[in-house]
Chains A and B, each alone.
Chain A
Amino acid sequence: MSRKANSRTVSTLRNRLQLVSTLTLRDLKVNYDRSVLGFAWTLASPMLQLGVLYVVFHIILKLGGPKYPAYVFIGLLGYGWFQSSAVSSCVAVIRSPELILRPEFPRWVLPIIPVTVGAVQFLLALPLAFLLAFIVGAELHPIMLSLPLIALLQALVMLPIAFVAAALNSHYRDVQQIIQVVTLLFFFLTPIFYSRSDIPADLTWIIAINPMAYIVDAYRAAILGSTLPPVAHLLHALLFVGVGTPLAVWLYSRLSYRFVEDM
């Protein structure tokens, strides 16, 4: 490849990255459009969530130890990113007819946006999780450094789901209903309120194959200093990414030619 073609590839790639960041910003702006607090909601909403958890588990139910609100908060933070991105990826294509109609618009960008929007909200709320962890006595430790890798893993797990949901929902609107139910189901199949040791032995396979179970526990390990889940479960998650991504991209590119017809 000539140097000129090389530099064109680089500038195209940079353009696509800027497109992703601009569209991410668009969604964040539009989400909080016409609200008084505006962008501050990205921080205010997890803080309020935390307040609710504290009142419910610490004051009313007196469940778990002093670390329990932090434990649940971190679980909710990770799963919240997953859930909100999965649900909004369903409309990623159908709410942007203006973009689909532009000849030069790269359609593969659209399902990435819900994942990056969720990532921004996740990252903004993350300091709160650390603050909470330090209050309940967590200490600095080397596993913390793995946090960016865990977040990256979560993004990689979510992308194939987002691609499939966005593509299928453009043609079959049932998908957004199904996704809502499935994310609710997985909310309970993921150790958010309970710990994986609470699960009956004959059902542990559910946790083993659920990538989000590995991910939320890995966050807890990184932030609270608890032990990392088994490496085998990490391999399951990587297998999901490795098999799911090419399938999802294949399905999306096949169906993307029908987006305009289905509008």
Chain B
Amino acid sequence: MTVLRLSDVGKQLNRPSSDRPRRLRELVSRARVISHGTETFWAVRNISLDVRPGEMLGIIGGNGAGKSTLLRLCGGVLRPTEGVVQRTGRAEAFFDFTAGLQPDLTCQDNVILGLIISGHSVREARSLVQEVLEFAGIWDNRLNPVRVLSTGMKLRLGFAIATQQRPDLLLLDEVVSVGDADFQERSSDRTAAFLRAGTAAVLVSHDMQQVQSLCQRAIWIHHGQSASYGSADVVTKAYIESAYDVDNSNSGTGITGHEPPGMQLATIVNGNPDTATVTSGASIELGFEINVDQALGVFRPAISLLDDNGQLQTYLYYQSTIEHDGGRLSFSVTLDKMGLADGDYQIALYLHSADWSTTLGEFADAASIEIENAPEGAGVLRPQSEWCVPNK
């Protein structure tokens, strides 16, 4: 049994560049416009997926890949150009930052209107107002129009209204991490309770950890097509690896580095500039300082470590994001117990956009490390070993 099934779904949209005012002339000459079909593109195509009760499906992909279009198709708010979307039961969605709220109405009136749309009667809606506003933590603002609320408050209110009653299908766009820690806990508790009770959910997210921890399965959308669909672990890993591949192909061999224009990097390795000799098994502390002209915005740093032969030995990324408003930027990472074989290693530093879609900066030779005194043996991994043997 499935709550949501998409079979070979595609959606054709107008090019964003054709966002000019529409004219009646188009209506008159509509047949011609369609026969030429010049200004449309496939926002998503050939997508098949299904979501069962109690399951959360993650949608991942870069900016403009078609994730939001896909989520709206799931909610029936957009109609597919080709293929079939089948839904059973009642759907609630949290699509964007308007959060389904009417800016000129008071919070209280918004709750009542929202609950009536969800199928409540006026009387039920009135009796639930306090509960919803308290869940959102904005009871004191109940008589204020929504337009005076902060963005965080609006999102909380929108979430509280949409999830007052358990839906059969819950569609979430980047919102589980809304609000302060307290509200996050309440909202994720509520979502989890819905899932246990049989709600099917779809989550669009840029946060791979979130997708790994909340979703059983995921779909990776790349240029509107399904690049990978299956277990959330496998799909998110494939996505992260592809971000690494893009870095590598950009810099050719991955060894000859180029610094992005307008950025200078200084690296400190265990207190020394650029290079250091480290005993195998000791920790390596890498401090990065970047001088950059313009603001990078929100980004996610990552490093890779290559051995003598240019083979990738590890690729690690910061689990969250950093916000940069311009000027000097410094951060550090400590690699613990680096039990590696003797030899020279190269560290590369990448600055990814928060959604992994672009690389803002890459430094292929951010630092060099010489490892020495490794335990004897073979292979790149040389952990310290302790043997327990039977006494004679």
Contacts and interface: CB of A to CB of B under 8 A. Distances in A.
B330 to A, nearest CB: 42
Interface string A136-180: 000000000000000000000000000000001001111100100
B91 A103 contact: yes
A262 B122 CA distance: 31
B113 A26 contact: yes
Contacts of B169: 103
Interface string B312-349: 00000000000000000000000000000000000000
B112 interface: yes
Interface string B93-117: 1011011111011000100110011
Q: Is the interface of A mostly helix, strand, loop or mixed?
A: helix
A100 B91 CA distance: 14
B168 to A, nearest CB: 11
A98 B102 contact: yes
Q: On chain A, which size bracket covers the interface?
A: 20 to 34
A97 B27 CA distance: 23
A103 B92 contact: yes
A24 to B, nearest CB: 11
Contacts of A97: 98
B71 to A, nearest CB: 11
Contacts of B77: 100-103, 260
A188 interface: no
Interface residues of B, number: 40
Contacts of A173: 21-22
A189 interface: no
Contacts, number: 89
Interface in A5-58: 11-12, 14-15, 18-19, 22-23, 26, 29-30, 33
B279 interface: no
Q: Which of A12, A23, A174, A262 has the most CB of B within 10 A?
A: A174
A23 B114 CA distance: 11
A47 to B, nearest CB: 26
B121 interface: yes
Nearest to B21: A173
B196 interface: no
A104 interface: yes
B240 interface: no
Contacts of A202: none
Contacts of A104: 90-92, 117-119
Contacts of A12: 119
A174 B28 CA distance: 13
Contacts of B90: 104
Contact of A260 (B26, B78, B98, B122): B78
Contacts of A22: 112-113, 116, 122
Contacts of A99: 100, 117
Interface in A48-104: 96-104
A19 B113 CA distance: 7
A105 interface: yes
A76 B264 CA distance: 73
A174 B24 contact: yes
Given A23-B113, A260-B72, A103 B93 contact: yes
24 contacts: A12-B119, A15-B119, A19-B116, A22-B112, A26-B102, A26-B113, A33-B104, A96-B102, A98-B101, A101-B72, A101-B77, A101-B93, A101-B96, A101-B100, A102-B92, A102-B93, A103-B76, A104-B90, A172-B24, A173-B22, A174-B23, A174-B24, A175-B24, A261-B14
Shortest beta-carbon contacts, A-B, top 9: A103-B91, A257-B79, A103-B75, A174-B24, A30-B104, A18-B122, A98-B100, A172-B22, A98-B98
